[in-house]
Amino acid sequence: MSLPAYGGTLVDRTVTDARAAELRAEAAGLPGIRLSGSTLSDLYLIAVGALSPLDGFMDETAWRSVVDDMRLPSGLPWGVPIVLPCTVDEAAAVGDGGRAALFGPDGELAGVIDVTGRFDRDLGAEATGVYGTTEQEHPGVAAIHGTGPICLAGPIEYCYPTDISGFPDANLTPAQTRAAFAERGWDTVVAFQTRNPIHRAHEYLQKCALEMVDGLLVHPLVGETKSDDIPADVRMECYDVLLDKYYVKDRVMLSVLPAAMRYAGPREAIHHSIMRRNYGCTHFIVGRDHAGVGSYYGSYDAQEIFETIDAAALGIVPLKFEHAFFCKLTGQMASAKTSPSGPEDRVFLSGTKVREMLTRGERPPAEFTRPEVADVLMKAYRS
């Protein structure tokens, strides 16, 4: 049996078709707030329970507790604030309470919030606490500076009419992944977070983890990412060709996570693990530089942060792996724990280096990328 949802109960703030029609009629008379793509992702993740126990956007007490202490007011560990930013004009229209309509970037009604509070967001404190820097060159810091200065809090109802992931057949909710795990008889499931194609090093980590558990959830993030990250549709094609040929089909499942990347390094590793617990996973792979960007975080900061929180409360087990590489001496993937080779016999390549190679029209080497994946990437970059 999978772990219970974080906080004990899997939240569901989605509505029936009849209730959605009522909300659309009501929204015509409500003040409106236009959501960014990343805030729409948060709204969706709250609604389907991926951010349980949250049933809405955080108030100032919760925001401050997360920024300063990495905990919800209840004491549960929590990595990043989940807030609803708005403009001064939008906040003035809402006032101190009542209800407001939430519109997606396309102008469609996404939901309604019962506003229970509002606060001015201290962007400097959030940047320092969550990202470890106030430099706006950091994409996460730049993103919060690009939002409105006021945040509204309160529970939500969700009625967005379309799938926000772009991959409706692969976008399983936490309730659906939990049901799928139960149907397969998986009591223990390891999740793998990625915003890149799966390379040989990733495959090695996943298959090491599969020796310990019943099943693997490959759970790529398909929300907003940096402009130079490989597009989600290309990555999904890579996952399909890889899993079809190189994995045991009844021990792996592919589903997408329509969340935005924050590039918050260690804090985001906690955030990613909490979401995967809500999706029903019992274990979570944490590799080198998880959710990192540039040189803002140490290679293993995202692993070490798990030693600073209440592991029993978090529940999900982090599986910590060292940097994997292709070992020329043994002719296989390895890490410093398993390979006796020296530096000259170790082939390291990062996602950044692969993107640079593709931009130059160079094919990623077989030591790093399966040939079927390289074919997909080369075709995408040529076009």
What CATH code is carried by the domain that includes residue 42?
A: 3.10.400.10
Look up the domain containing 252 and give its range.
174-257+322-382
Do 112 and 206 have their domain in common? no
Domain membership flag for residue 329: yes
Most confident of 69-83, 217-231, 362-376: 69-83
pLDDT at residue 54 is higher than 70: yes
Mean pLDDT value of segment 190-201 = 94
Find the catalytic residue in 195, 235, 262, 267. Answer: 195
Can 278 be counted among the known catalytic residues? no
CB–CB of 67/284 below 8 Å?
A: no
Do 203 and 122 have their domain in common? no
Domain membership flag for residue 277: no
Confidence (pTM): 0.96
User: What are the tens digits of pLDDT across the range 230-249?
Assistant: 899 999 999 999 999 999 99
Do 151 and 196 have their domain in common? no
Do 179 and 225 have their domain in common? yes
Domain membership flag for residue 275: no
Do 56 and 143 have their domain in common? yes
Domain membership flag for residue 195: yes
The CATH number linked to 353 is: 3.40.50.620
pLDDT at residue 276 is higher than 60: yes
Do 47 and 83 have their domain in common? yes
**Count of domains forming the chain:** 2
Query: Domain boundary residue among 123, 158, 193?
Result: 158
Query: Domain boundary residue among 93, 124, 158?
Result: 158
| Alpha carbon distance 299, 56 (integer Å) | 33
Do 209 and 343 have their domain in common? yes
Mean pLDDT value of segment 201-219 = 97
Whether the upstream peptide bond of residue 197 has omega within 30° of 0, thus cis, is no
| Alpha carbon distance 352, 243 (integer Å) | 23
Can 196 be counted among the known catalytic residues? yes
Do 229 and 357 have their domain in common? yes
Domain membership flag for residue 52: yes
* pLDDT score at 1: 55
CB–CB of 205/212 below 8 Å?
A: no
State the distance between the two ends of the chain, measured CA to CA, in whole angstroms: 45
Higher pLDDT, 306 or 359: 306
User: What are the tens digits of pLDDT across the range 74-132?
Assistant: 999 999 999 999 999 999 999 878 999 999 999 999 999 999 999 999 999 999 999 99
Do 209 and 350 have their domain in common? yes
CB–CB of 381/361 below 8 Å?
A: yes
Domain membership flag for residue 274: no
CA distances from 328 to 146, 154, 334, 340, 346 (A): 46, 56, 10, 11, 6
Domain membership flag for residue 10: no
CA distances from 289 to 136, 221, 224, 292, 346 (A): 20, 16, 19, 5, 19
Domain membership flag for residue 77: yes
Do 153 and 183 have their domain in common? no
Find the catalytic residue in 196, 235, 262, 370. Answer: 196
Do 209 and 336 have their domain in common? yes
Residue whose token pair is 């996404």: 110
Do 149 and 178 have their domain in common? no
**Please, which pLDDT band fits residue 354 given cuts at 50, 70 and 90?**
confident
Query: Domain boundary residue among 125, 158, 191?
Result: 158
Mean pLDDT value of segment 10-22 = 97
| Alpha carbon distance 55, 60 (integer Å) | 15
